[in-house]
Chain A
Amino acid sequence: MKSLLRRVILFGLRRPVLAAVLSLLALALAALPLLTASFSADITRMLPSGSESERACAVLLNSGLFNQSAVLFTADTEERLDAASSEIDTIANKITSVPGVTRVDNRFLPDDLPATLASFQEWIPQFQPFSGLDAAGIVSAAKRKILLGGFASLVLADPTGFAASKLAVLEQFRSASSFHLKDGETAIVAPDGLHRLLLLETDVSAADTAGGRKLMDDLEAILAAHPLSGIRAELLLAHAHSIENERVIKSDVKLACILSVLFFVPAILLLFRRDLRALAIPVFPAAVSLAAAGLLAIPGEPVLLFVTATGGLVIGLAVDYGVHVYMTMQTPCPVRRLVRIAPSLLTGAATSSAVFLLFALTPIPGVRQFGVFIGISLLASLLLTLLLFPSILIRTKAPLPKPHQLKTFSPKLACGICFGLMALFAVLAILRLNIRTDLRQFDAAQEKLSETADAVERLFLDGPAQGVLAVHGTDADTALQHAESVCASLTGKDPELAESIFSPTFLIPTKAEREANLTSWRASFNFDAFAKSLRAAAEDEGFEPDAFDPFLASLQRGIEAPDLNANPDVFAPVLNRVLRPAADGNGWYAAVFLPESALSLAEGLPPEIETVPISRADIPAQIVSDMKSAATLPVVLAIFSVFAIAFLFFRSVRDSLCAMIPVAMALLTVCAVYALLGKPLNLAAEISLVLLSGLAIDYGVFVNGSERSANPYVFRAISASALTTAAGGLTIAFAGHPLLHEAGFALIPGVLAAWGAAALLLPSIRRGFVKRVSSAPLKSFLLALIPAFLPFTTACHSLPYEYDPVPPLTETEWPLYRDKVQPPAEPMKPFAFQGKVTFEYKFFKQATLCAVSYDESGELRVAAFSPSGGKIFELSGTADALADFWFMPIDVLDGHEKEAAGFILADFFHIFGSLAPWRGVKTGATENVKDDSKIIRREPFGDDGGELVSVFWGSKLPVMGKYYFKNETIDWQSWYFRYIVKDAVIFPEIIVYDNYKHGYRLILTVSDLFEDSES
């Protein structure tokens, strides 16, 4: 390897022009695919491939079932909206002609109902088998309906009642989808009468940023051309997320370029004493990162914009190599010295690159692309720097900088203790670290767009959350057949579902059924005879003989010239949204609506039927769960691989461990900074941790190597490297995109810590080793460092669920919400539920079942069962006293059953107690404090001087969490992650309770909430 590197360096020195030309050609060739590459800002590329959440999001984007494109009109008054009805119709017509818009649904039901009902009759022969038509009976029933007050026009248009029965299915859809409209309206108007929707159907994929932007521009132009007095029009496009993300990232790329120039140029001129040749240092990685971006496009996948935006980071990392080459070239015998240090540089670069290339093993496409991009860039930057930079530097030498020996602080013991204490402090801080893996935090458009989406949901959706089962088929008819099988299977498992389920097959039959029905009509029905008898019967009952002729004409058309591929127009607004071709052209999807709680019944369906459950409530949780497992792997792999590569280089465990010290300090510092700032560690920060591992091991390797070879310039080299890397971090820390901002933010403290550990601590430890193996500084540092790794082995104490972000409270909102979070005046209402409790203690986890009830007398009853069905314990009592208890006879509890029962009862009162006030709260002594988006309520609690702190998230009432604070420590805390709304009762559904006093956690999931205390 040394010989190869020597040849590269000498080739660059002997034939600089040829080397430059060849390099330029190679870089240009690599960058060429960028000309035809497609770029994407699709945040779902950060989801693990093949995961449930990725499948669900892919269906959300591609199935067309969840097209959120709409125009929302908001009026000041109902009258104003009514008056603008025809103008909105005009806008709807104009939008129909916009390229990319395939359909605009302006009305849920047609205005001309009699005509709709009449035309509907032609579908009778396709939609139902022939079972006889009694002409006299039809006429007589029609007469009865008219006499009873029915509209004659409607009755005559639909004398059999067939159309009315089919239209009633739409009501089932409305009920199953929780979609609510203003009564008596045919337009899509919210129940409040102030909002109206135009639903748009487009063939532009939500992930198609360019197409989406064009669509948005066209729609905005139409809305601008038709201003409505007193009415606000807002666009709600599924494409807006990718458009907004792309806009933010493009602006970030520009910002990163500007900041790179602003930070790197002065830093380099400062470090290298105004030697302009040093400005070439960042040019090599910049050119390489451009070429590496081109390589990303070769597999044909879209290049992620937020990956390319990390080019500044590449420069920040790879300028290290230029710095080392520059410093070495200023020494006597520079080439010989450069050849000597080149293997160290290559080891450092290979280590970092290997760490990043390991990302290729992760299931997350975005992370894979990021890893490959940085990995290739770093290694290629080093080679290019070694090839071209020495020839620039060899011609004239700058004044030799003053050698700077690495500091060995005296006494060395103090240095070890100092860093050891820092590490210990970091560990203590990390114990409070939270981890947040929800990917939606990196959607730059989330906050901006969620407001309108939430408004539509709030206005038009009501009732319990509905789940959707996206059922796939190779064509529309197969999707329908599959949906039919799915419905049969689901209702077979739970017959009660029949009332709350909706499938497109409720609207239209499959093609095979249509053909069979039609055949039965053609075989058994004599149209002429029926028409004759119907006219005669009409005349007998006092109707005009031709009163039913429109019905007859429609029926005849349906028998003689049916279109088996068409569907009734009146179904189109619904049918086009529940039976859709996949946007990627891969078959069709049928949407089966059902309660979210019933989605689990879809398990065990025949494997040939592909279904994807979509739950608005569960997708975020699924993302968190998928990301947790996928995001942990890179960090673990990074730590092991840097150690393995350091070991391969040094062939000494001792030296490898020493080289790992900057890595440990960097990781600990970043985690501690996040913990101290109260920020949860997220995916971007985890990526930075991996990046820091690769970077800090470089410092460790260099310092260890310099201690061996007594290189006098290593202090200056790693200081320059840390400075430029921090500058690289700064270029993206100011980015508007949360993913880039977080990655840059995490990098800066980590780099500083790694530099400190490498430049100050490591020499003390190394020299301690030289003197005697069991050096005091090492001992003291390691002693403090050992507990530092405990959090990584036991995992940080993070909450297993996450909250959706809530915008900060405005000054006008604050007074409104401040008063809402006072302790309720009413006593706690009776409740009863069954659910699951997962008991966690250190590495132990156990799920159990439970039944809990609270009655009006203030008595709480709790029973727990093993999933094998056996009862573990049962207890009851009030907040003041334990009344009764029973434990399964188990030796380990022998004699302590009462104490255990008391603890459990207290835990359950902590969890549910102050959701409504209970006697421990001293009301009237509360203090509410605004904290960004949260409202913190503090109140004295109990008689031992403790304080109960309740946390509310702005408008997202009720309480999100509470904790009991006494003597500066938290005894227990309880967080509520989801609420059930049932019969106007709001009750927590997922609760995470930590008892810090005894170190255990209960995760409670309510599955069945009952109306009274009878559980």
Chain B
Amino acid sequence: MTFWPAVRILTAVLLSVCASFAFAGEDAAQTGPKPQEAEVKVSELDTAELLANIANFKTLRTKFVQTKHLKAFKKPMVLNGELCLDRPGKRFAWHVEKPLKYSCVIANGKLTQWDADSDKTVSVPFSKYPMLEMLSDAMTAFASGDVKALEKDFEAAAGKDGTVVLKPRSEHFAASLITEVELTLDESKTKIVKVRASEKNGDVTELVYTDSVFDSDIPDALWQAKQKK
């Protein structure tokens, strides 16, 4: 037991990075970047039609601002970076620029993360942690607003002021952490511009996409975890 603190805490930190991605993805699905286009009210829209058309794209490359409001801290924590999504290739890249340079790329059956401070790259294959594949799918679904893919675990409904609200089904483990995830759509009602996640402990995370580009070629360099320091 004398050695466990360091080992456990470290393992916890490593795994939590992977696990937190799932929640960040939820956050992404819920909060989202500052909308570029006017938001629309969808409360009167047909939910089924809305869900059928949402996230109808192959690739996404967008800048993001993630703002985390913690109940116990009054100043929010803000992350800026770039997010890339390749749905057919099942690839997901999360590059943080500020306050620290960090990247996490999910591609080719593994999660690879890197940060400029340690300048170390760590890869975790799905074969070793099968849970990661599940998390990867969930992340892709949240980041792209693919509500259909999430319907198994979340109940979707049209919310106020042009939003789609996702509530975790009671049997899903996310229900112990998340109250709801709110998606804000663009004018075409097909693409996400903002995700807001409310957690049970009172924390709220917003993820806002800016400069989103859909269905474009994403440079190979963005699918590498290690970035220029």
Contact B75 A834 (CB under 8 A): yes
Question: Which residues B173-229 have CB closer than 8 A to chain A?
Answer: 173, 176-177, 201, 203, 205, 207
Task: Flag whether A523 is at the interface (Cβ < 8 A).
Answer: no
Q: How far is the CB of B99 from chain A (nearest CB, A)?
A: 5
How many Å from the CB of B92 to the closest CB on chain A?
11
Among A839, A840, A847, A1015, the residue within 8 A (CB) of B75 is A1015
Q: Is the CB of A838 within 8 A of B117?
A: yes
Residues in A whose Cβ lies below 8 Å from that of B9: 839, 893, 900, 903-904, 1000
- CB-CB under 8 A for A841 and B102, given A869-B68, A892-B15, A1003-B117: no
Q: Which residue of A lies closest to B14 (CB)?
A: A846
Select the residue from A835, A846, A851 with max chain B CB neighbours within 10 A: A846
CB of A425 within 8 Å of the partner chain: no
What sequence of 0s and 1s flags, for each residue 845-884 of chain A, a beta carbon within 8 Å of any chain B beta carbon? 1111101010000000101011111111110100000000
Contact A868 B104 (CB under 8 A): yes
Judge whether A886 is part of the interface by a CB distance below 8 angstroms: yes
Convert A981-1007 into 0s and 1s, putting 1 for each residue whose CB lies closer than 8 angstroms to a CB of B: 000000000000001001110010101
Q: Are B75 and A869 in contact (CB under 8 A)?
A: no
> Of B13, B15, B70, B122, which one neighbours A848 at CB under 8 angstroms?
B13
Chain A residues within an 8 Å CB radius of B68? 865, 869, 871
Q: Is A1010 interfacial (CB-CB < 8 Å)?
A: yes
In contact, A869 and B115 (Cβ under 8 angstroms): no
Query: Chain B residues near A836 (CB, 8 Å)?
Result: 99-100, 117
> Of A863, A887, A899, which one neighbours B70 at CB under 8 angstroms?
A863
Interface size of B by Cβ–Cβ distance < 8 Å?
A: 53
Min CB distance A704 to B, Å, is 40
Q: Provided the pairs A834-B77, A847-B102 are in contact, do residues A888 and B16 lie with their beta carbons within 8 angstroms?
A: yes
Q: A838-B118, A865-B20, A866-B20 are in contact. Are A853 and B73 (CB under 8 A)?
A: yes
Contact status of A867 and B79, CB under 8 A, knowing A836-B117, A847-B118, A849-B99: yes
Task: Name the distance in Å between A387's Cβ and chain B's nearest Cβ.
Answer: 51
- Verify B10–A869 contact, CB threshold 8 A: no
Report A389-437 residues with CB < 8 Å from chain B CB: none
Q: Which residues of B contact A14 (CB under 8 A)?
A: none
Contacts of A832 in B (CB 8 A): 73, 75
Q: Which chain B positions have C-beta within 8 A of A903? A: 5, 9
B12 touches A (CB below 8 Å): yes
- A276 contacts B by Cβ under 8 Å: no
Q: How far is the CA of A835 from the CA of B77 in the complex (A)?
A: 10
Q: Which residues in B have their C-beta under 8 angstroms from that of A998? A: 2-3, 5-6
Q: Which residue of B lies closest to A870 (CB)?
A: B20
Are A846 and B115 within 8 A (Cβ)?
yes
Known: A834-B77, A1000-B10. A890 touches B16 (CB 8 A): yes
A890 and B131 CA atoms in complex are apart in Å by 12
Chain B interface main SS type:
mixed
Chain B residue contacts of A900, Cβ below 8 A: 5, 8-9, 12
Q: Which residues of A contact B136 (CB under 8 A)?
A: none
Q: Please measure, in the bound complex, the distance between the C-alpha atom of A899 and the C-alpha atom of B100, giving whole angstroms.
A: 29
**Residue in B28, B115, B201 whose beta carbon sits within 8 Å of that of A847 in the complex:** B115
Of B9, B68, B70, the most chain A CB neighbours within 10 A belong to B9
Flag whether B144 is at the interface (Cβ < 8 A). no
Q: For residue A1007, give the distance in angstroms from its CB to the closest CB of chain B.
A: 5
Residue-wise, chain A 815-857 has the 8 Å CB interface mask toward B (1 for contact) of 0000000000000000010111011110011111101010000
User: Cβ of B120 < 8 Å from any Cβ of A?
Assistant: yes
Which of B14, B20, B23 has most chain A Cβ within 10 Å? B20
Given the known inter-chain contacts A867-B100, A1003-B117, please indicate yes or no for A892 contacting B8, CB distance below 8 A.
yes
Distance (Å) between the CB of A594 and the closest chain B CB? 16
Cα of A176 to Cα of B69 in the assembled complex, Å: 33
Q: Which of A600, A876, A889, A892 contacts B11 (CB 8 A)?
A: A892
Q: Which residues of A contact B66 (CB under 8 A)?
A: 869
A1014 within 8 A of B: yes
User: Within the complex, which residue of B72, B96, B102, B115 is in contact with A861, where a contact is CB–CB below 8 Å?
Assistant: B72
Task: Give the distance to chain B from A45, nearest Cβ to Cβ, in Å.
Answer: 25
| Interfacial chain B residues near A835, Cβ < 8 Å | 99
* B24 interfacial contact with A, CB 8 Å: yes
Which residues of the other chain, A, contact B117 by a CB distance below 8 angstroms?
Answer: 836, 838, 845, 847, 1003, 1005
List of A residues within 8 angstroms of B19 by Cβ: 870, 888-890
Interface flag for A896 (CB, 8 Å)? yes
User: What distance in Å separates the Cβ of A847 from its nearest Cβ neighbour in chain B?
Assistant: 4
Contact A870 B23 (CB under 8 A): yes
- The tally of residues in A whose CB lies under 8 Å from a CB in B reads 54
* Contact call A874/B70, Cβ cutoff below 8 A: yes
Complex CA distance for A846 and B4, rounded to whole angstroms: 18
Interface string of B30-66 (1 = CB under 8 A from A): 0000000000000000000000000000000000001
Instruction: Give the Cβ gap from B16 to chain A, nearest Cβ, in Å.
Output: 4
Q: Which residues of B contact A1003 (CB under 8 A)?
A: 117
Q: How far is the CA of A1003 from the CA of B28 in the complex (A)?
A: 29
Q: Which residues from chain A contact B205 at a C-beta distance below 8 Å?
A: 869
Q: Does B21 contact A (CB under 8 A)?
A: yes
A1005 to B99, CA, bound (A): 11
Query: At the interface, yes or no: B134 with Cβ under 8 Å from chain A?
Result: no
Give bound CA distance, A1000 to B176, whole Å.
32
Residues of chain A within 8 A (CB-CB) of B99 are 834-836, 849, 1007-1008
Which residues from chain B contact A840 at a C-beta distance below 8 Å?
118
Query: Of B21, B104, B120, which is within 8 A of A845 by CB?
Result: B120
Q: Does B128 have its Cβ within 8 Å of any Cβ on chain A?
A: no
* Other-chain contact of A872, B12, B28, B173 (Cβ < 8 Å): B12
Partner pick for A893 among B2, B8, B73, B118, CB 8 A cutoff: B8
Bound CA span A998–B7, Å = 9
Contact partner of A863 among B73, B94, B100, B122, CB < 8 A?
Answer: B73
Closest to B103 in A: A867
Interface check B17, CB cutoff 8 A? yes
Measured between alpha carbons, how far is A313 from B214 in the docked complex, in Å?
Answer: 66
CB of B86 within 8 Å of the partner chain: no
Residue A887 contacts which of B12, B22, B102 (CB distance < 8 angstroms)?
B12
Cross-chain contact A861 with B73 (CB below 8 angstroms): yes
Cβ contact within 8 Å between B21 and A870: yes
A838-B118, A861-B73, A888-B19 known; A869+B12 contact, CB < 8 A: no
B75, A851: Cβ atoms under 8 Å? yes
**From B9, which residue of chain A is reached at the shortest CB distance?**
A900
Q: Which of B12, B116, B120 has the most CB of A within 10 A?
A: B12
Residues of B within 8 A of A1015 (CB): 73-75
A865 and B75 in contact, given A870-B21, A872-B12, A1000-B10 (Cβ under 8 angstroms): no
Do A886 and B201 touch (CB < 8 A)?
yes
Complex CA distance for A847 and B96, rounded to whole angstroms: 12
Interface status of B27 (Cβ within 8 A of chain A): yes
A848, A861, A1010: which has the most chain B beta carbons within 10 Å?
Answer: A848
Chain A residues 558 to 616 lying within 8 A of chain B, measured CB to CB, are 600
Given known contacts A863-B70, A896-B8, A870 and B16 CB-to-CB distance under 8 angstroms:
yes
What's the nearest-Cβ distance from chain A to residue B96, in Å? 5
A-B contact pairs, 27 of them (CB 8 A): A832-B73, A832-B75, A836-B100, A841-B7, A851-B73, A866-B17, A867-B17, A867-B102, A867-B104, A868-B21, A868-B96, A868-B102, A869-B207, A870-B27, A871-B20, A871-B23, A871-B70, A872-B12, A872-B20, A876-B72, A892-B12, A893-B8, A903-B9, A995-B6, A1000-B6, A1008-B75, A1015-B74
Binding site for A on B (CB under 8 A): 2-17, 19-24, 27-28, 66, 68, 70, 72-75, 77, 79, 94, 96, 98-100, 102, 104, 115-118, 120, 122, 173, 176-177, 201, 203, 205, 207
Given contacts A870-B17, A896-B8, A1000-B9, 11 further A-B contacts (CB under 8 A): A838-B118, A846-B118, A849-B77, A866-B17, A866-B20, A869-B66, A870-B27, A871-B20, A872-B17, A890-B12, A1005-B117
Interface of A with B (CB < 8 Å)? 600, 832, 834-836, 838-841, 844-849, 851, 853, 861, 863, 865-874, 876, 886-893, 896, 899-900, 903-904, 995, 998-1000, 1003, 1005, 1007-1008, 1010, 1014-1015
